[in-house]
């Protein structure tokens, strides 16, 4: 984590249990970690567009919740990195648990009849979410949150690989792209944590435009945001294929992937 040599800004002394490697209040007096804040846009704007598109396509509401859950994580992370206030940290970290529980439900219930609601997995995930919340509010240990989040991600990885290996092998490119992008973000997150002193020292000698590239926690937001977005598209492709819709990936402006659902084939 970051050494305590940062400037004071609009939000005062940090009260969060984490203070990342980006130097505080360097770019703006009103934003504690500028690059860690603005990098959350990738987790806010595309998921909102995805939720609107999913709603227009008439797909199940759980997938709208998936997109909105990712957007909620982006908003919470924006507030946390902008302020470094403990309450805003919770607004970032707890939605990570809640939204990933929605991802897990969608992926593990993808081979059920349309609009089926399974109460047992919902109850399990609800108990898990409440338990993590209660424990984390009492035991303010970030590693606990990170382990619980990692356990949910592991469930998604195992289920995704099973489906693209044994059920829909033509979806392997989307699955492994999503996983690879997410893991790249996780790698950079670890580098940012482990080599923070070295990174900070290098920024003092590098030109400002080059130093920004070493803000690896911001890259963590970008890559995990994209990886999570791609996972939702994969989950939607699996579900819509099972329901005999015709999902098709299109690229907005030739760059950003979106999923469009064509009507069911008539028999």
Domains, the chain, ordered by start: 34-262 (1.20.1070)
Specify the pLDDT at position 3: 45
265 compared with 22, residue with greater pLDDT: 22
CA distance 32 to 80: 9
Phi, psi of 265, deg, nearest 5: -70, 135
Average pLDDT of 97-124?
Answer: 96
Is the pLDDT at 116 greater than 80, yes or no? yes
For the stretch 130-147, pLDDT in tens is 999 999 999 999 999 999
Could you tell me which residues are annotated as the binding site for Zn(2+)? 81, 217, 221
Highest mean pLDDT among 8-22, 82-96, 107-121: 82-96
Specify the pLDDT at position 255: 84
CA distance 107 to 212: 36
Specify the pLDDT at position 49: 95
Least confident of 57-66, 144-153, 232-241, 258-267: 258-267
Confidence of residue 17 (pLDDT cuts 50, 70, 90): very high
Q: Is 226 exposed, middle or buried (0-12, 13-18, 19+ CB in 10 A)?
A: buried
Specify the pLDDT at position 261: 85
For the stretch 40-63, pLDDT in tens is 999 999 999 999 999 999 899 999
Least confident of 127-131, 171-175, 196-200, 251-255: 251-255
Is the pLDDT at 125 greater than 50, yes or no? yes
Could you tell me which residues are annotated as the binding site? 19-20, 22, 24, 33, 81, 217, 221
- Mean pLDDT (the chain) is 94
Average pLDDT of 191-196?
Answer: 96
For the stretch 60-101, pLDDT in tens is 999 999 999 999 999 999 999 999 999 999 999 999 999 999
Specify the pLDDT at position 5: 53
Specify the pLDDT at position 264: 67
Could you tell me which residues are annotated as the binding site for Ca(2+)? 19-20, 22, 24, 33
Contact between 104 and 152 (Cβ < 8 Å): yes
Is the pLDDT at 207 greater than 80, yes or no? yes
- Sign of the CA dihedral running 215, 217, 219, 221: negative
Average pLDDT of 7-31?
Answer: 93
Please count the CA atoms within 13 angstroms of the CA of 121 that sit on its side-chain side. Answer: 14
């Amino acid at each position: 984590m970051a050494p305590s040599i940062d400037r004071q800004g609009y939000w005062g002394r940090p009260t969060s249990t984490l203070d990342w490697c980006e130097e505080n209040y360097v770019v703006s007096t009103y934003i504690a970690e500028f690059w860690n804040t603005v990098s959350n846009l990738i987790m806010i704007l595309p998921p909102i567009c995805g939720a609107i598109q999913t709603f227009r396509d008439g797909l199940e509401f759980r997938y709208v919740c998936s997109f909105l859950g990712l957007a909620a994580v982006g908003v919470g992370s924006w507030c946390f990195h902008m302020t470094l206030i403990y309450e805003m940290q919770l607004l970032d970290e707890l939605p990570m648990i809640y939204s990933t529980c929605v991802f897990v439900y969608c992926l593990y219930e993808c081979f059920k009849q349309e609009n089926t609601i399974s109460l047992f997995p919902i109850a399990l995930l609800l108990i898990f979410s409440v338990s993590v919340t209660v424990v984390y509010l009492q035991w303010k240990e970030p590693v606990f949150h990170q382990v619980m989040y990692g356990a949910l991600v592991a469930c998604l990885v195992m289920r995704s690989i099973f489906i693209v290996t044994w059920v829909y092998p033509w979806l392997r490119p989307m699955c492994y792209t999503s996983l690879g992008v997410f893991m790249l973000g996780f790698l950079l997150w670890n580098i940012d944590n482990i080599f923070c002193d070295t990174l900070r020292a290098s920024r003092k000698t590098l030109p400002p435009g080059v130093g920004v590239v070493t803000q690896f926690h911001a890259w963590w937001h970008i890559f995990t945001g994209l990886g999570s977005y791609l996972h939702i598209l994969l989950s939607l492709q699996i579900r819509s294929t099972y329901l005999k819709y015709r999902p098709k990936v299109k690229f907005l402006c030739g760059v950003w992937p979106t999923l469009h659902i064509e009507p069911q084939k008539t028999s």
